Structure 1
Amino acid sequence: MSRQRDPRPQVETKVCASCGREMQWRASWSAVWDEVKYCSAACRSRKVTPTDRALEATILALLAQRPAKETISTSDAARAVGGDGWRALEEPARRAARRLVAVRAVDIVHDGRVVDPSWAKGPMRIRRRTAGS
């Protein structure tokens, strides 16, 4: 029996170092694809700050305190790091969660199902990565 080739072209992807979203190869990046780290000028200027690293560490610490299947929200991490000014850290917490998905430390879930963090909308629930996911 012969194998059929996948008719879809294989598109090379990377994960943005700042926002954690998946980015696909673009013709304009063809000469520098190996050096591309950020998906946009906004992410390139934002980079990853010590606060972003604190959010990542807080997400992992909060999850370590819970049973394996339990979740936290991005606002839990934002509150833990930002105190009264936590609302300003909500989007940075979402970016931190996406970066943790990229390194296979956590999963983003909606209604109990793992979702692609690049396309997740609404409140994000985060859980520790399980062996089967």
Structure 2
Amino acid sequence: VAVKVQRPSIGDSIAVDMLLLRRLIAVVDKTALPALGISQPLTPLVDEFAGRLFAELDYVQEGHNCERFQSLYGGMPRVRTPRIKWPLTSRRVLTMEWIEGVKLTNKPAMDAAGLSVVDFVDVGIECTLRQLLEHGYFHADPHP
């Protein structure tokens, strides 16, 4: 199995980072954007980003996202998603099936397995575009 354990204070660290980023962008909104003739503030983008980032801290939700991804793309021959081990999963611990693979950066192993980086990129782009354009959904934690 693969186990993903959340660091205890990661939520606090992200909260501080997002507060600082929001304050910085608020200054940009008031100074740089008007000077460039841009009227749309950037702070709503930071708020949206922060909300999505905090949602990523819920590993139960991540498990559900993984299952949704599987239901949408599990029929594609080059896509595999690990099964979630629900009895061993909680908000801060995600336990799933281990899937053996090859890192894209390991060229000798890729060559030995007859795998092409371009093929992986093509599959990644196809899945990402289908998620966004067909399903209005995005699972941001894929791994080749």
Greater share of residues in helix? 2
Greater share of residues in strand? 1
> Which of 1 and 2 has greater Rg?
2
| TM-score of the two chains, using structure 2 as the length reference | 0.23
